[in-house]
A and B are shown apart, each in its own frame.
Chain A
Amino acid sequence: MLLEINDISKSFGGLTALQDITFSVEEGETLGVMGANGAGKTTLFSLIAGHAKLSRGTILLAGQQIDGLRPDQISALGVARTYQIVRPFRGLTVLENVAAGALYGSHQEKSMAKANQMAHEILTDVGLDDRANQPAGSLTLAGFKRLELAKALATGPKLLLLDEVMAGLTPNEVNEAIGIIETCKQKYNFTVIVIEHVMKALMRMCERIVVIHHGEMIAVGPPEEIAQDEAVIQAYLGAEK
């Protein structure tokens, strides 16, 4: 198992954001996480990436306990994360953004020249290399999303956490994004957990899907099972009322 989430809970003050979540991810798998807004999906990512402290439970990466470590230590162990609300280094160039990932992350590349070379290659993979020397702040939303992905890829992840990298994109751009992620996954060999609101994308990309509702895990299984799951249908219809 690459990632094991053992019975974790998280509460902020008196509010429970996540309760008794348990699942695991196999190496090479693409796992989807779905749920309504505020269900606790992003909190789950924050816990895995070390940006928030667990209230209970443990998280293991390749058998090693990672909860309690700092985000940069977790990144060095090979967990990369993108943000739903993009966080580019606006004042740096696109290339510098991505090279920073290669210089730190799990690559810890010591040579600037090699890091830049790596960054160029990844930018080519995501189709941004012609923008390499522009200030990152000048990109479009689709560009920001690709940069977010490229930065995460540059750290050399074993596990990539994608938080709504397709939200706000046009259907065409969504197709391109799925293509990019799948190609990179083949090429760099990592495992993916993806949060997505674009249902079709989720169904297409994922081998299994975890459904979170009001902080609790109500279903896990292959997409076709999830689509017919009573609890899921009820939760979603209930949420719409």
Chain B
Amino acid sequence: MNNSSNSLRFIGIGAVIAIFGGLSGFASEYMLGIGFTLFMYIALAQSWVILSGMTGYISLGHVVFFGSGAYVFVLMWGLVPVWLGVALSGLVVGIGALIIGYPVLRVRGPYFVILSFGLAELVKNLVLINEARMYMSLRPVFGAPSLAQLYIAMLVLAVAATGLTYWVRRSRFGAGLRSIREDEWAAETIGIPVARLKLIAFALSGIVPAMVGAIFIMRSGIFQPGDAFNPIVSFTIVTMAIIGGSDDAPGPLLGVGFLVILQELLWANWPEIYMIILGILLISFVLFAPSGIYGWLSANISRSKKNAA
């Protein structure tokens, strides 16, 4: 019974992915653009969850991975094949995260949160200085793959990131991370190598956003440090994950779906209103539903099941 419902679920998920993939053949540019944004934020929010949802090290500067990936990618543009470039930016940023992660993750709790924001701004300013030195205020990216191809690539990343969150949440690794979130000291006491696990989570949560950044640059056609390291991206990721729920893979899907629709309706004409709504949503969820829509739903479903039994 349980087995067959599980395989049904996998067939369903496979079908949804196949339909989204198939759409790239005939959907309009506009629809593909929305799909692209949707997948982009799914990939970003899921990656955020691997670090911040699982370990409780809340990153307010996740755009640093996105922007660094984009920057590494444009530096290699024209020198290596496109998709190899995307993979390499993920690799380079992942290795970079391993290196800076060690000192950065020694800073705990709320100080990590403000540190993560400061780090993103620091890297942005360093890139700005470097670009000014090279006399590049903006870098165009000519001859990128078609939107349909980029759409498919982003779909692949969204599926990979969601799968990764799903796996981590159910793995031994994830059990260690979630223990760290609840009480780092006690986690170490029961033998969890906290420094190592945090570092792996930090690097894992940076790889996909770096590749997302690379693909995003091909879509926008231009690299500008101010856009690639825009703090609004970090803020959006955090809000999406918190609204949806950050303790398991379905949460970010809900949050992203909701906010991408809102963004589509408001961003072009009323960006301030969109940001205000985003802020109010974040405040309300932190105050009244800290486990997000998915956390709230699963708590209520398990309660009503219990009542029925």
Direct contact of A and B (CB under 8 A): yes
- Once A83-B186, A90-B182 are accepted as A-B contacts, the answer to whether A75 and B191 lie under 8 Å apart by CB is yes
Encode B146-184 as 1/0 by CB contact (under 8 A) with A.
000000000000000000000000111001101101110
Encode A21-48 as 1/0 by CB contact (under 8 A) with B.
0000000000000000000000000000
Encode A137-171 as 1/0 by CB contact (under 8 A) with B.
00000000000000110110000000000000000
Please report the total number of B residues contacting A with Cβ < 8 Å. Answer: 20
Q: Report the minimal beta-carbon distance from A6 to chain B, rounded to whole angstroms.
A: 23
Roughly how many angstroms separate A155 CA and B176 CA in the complex, as a whole number?
13
B residues within 8 A CB of A83? Answer: 186, 189
Contact across chains for B188 and A70 when beta carbons are under 8 A apart: yes
Q: Report the minimal beta-carbon distance from B294 to chain A, rounded to whole angstroms.
A: 14
> In chain B, residues 243-297, which have Cβ atoms closer than 8 Å to a Cβ of chain A?
none
Q: What interface size band does chain A fall in?
A: 20 to 34
- Once A87-B186, A89-B186 are accepted as A-B contacts, the answer to whether A104 and B191 lie under 8 Å apart by CB is yes
B residues within 8 A CB of A151? Answer: 186, 190
> In chain A, residues 92-120, which have Cβ atoms closer than 8 Å to a Cβ of chain B?
92, 96, 99-101, 103-106, 108-110, 112, 115
Q: Which residue of B lies closest to A112 (CB)?
A: B172
Q: Report the minimal beta-carbon distance from A137 to chain B, rounded to whole angstroms.
A: 9
Contact across chains for B191 and A155 when beta carbons are under 8 A apart: yes
Contact across chains for B179 and A72 when beta carbons are under 8 A apart: no
Of the residues B172, B190, B194, contact of A80 by C-beta under 8 Å: B190
Contact across chains for B191 and A96 when beta carbons are under 8 A apart: no
Contact across chains for B182 and A89 when beta carbons are under 8 A apart: yes
Most buried by A among B187, B188, B189: B189
> In chain A, residues 51-95, which have Cβ atoms closer than 8 Å to a Cβ of chain B?
51, 70-72, 75-76, 80-81, 83, 87-92
A49 within 8 A of B: yes
B193 within 8 A of A: yes
19 contacts across the A-B interface (CB closer than 8 A):
A49-B189, A51-B185, A70-B188, A71-B188, A71-B189, A75-B191, A80-B189, A81-B189, A83-B186, A87-B186, A89-B182, A89-B186, A92-B178, A92-B179, A99-B175, A100-B192, A103-B172, A112-B171, A151-B186
Question: Taking beta carbons and an 8 Å cutoff, which residues of B are in contact with A?
Answer: 170-172, 175-176, 178-179, 181-183, 185-194
Which 8 residue pairs of A and B lie closest in terms of their CB atoms, listed nearest first?
Answer: A75-B191, A89-B182, A104-B191, A87-B186, A105-B191, A71-B188, A101-B190, A100-B179
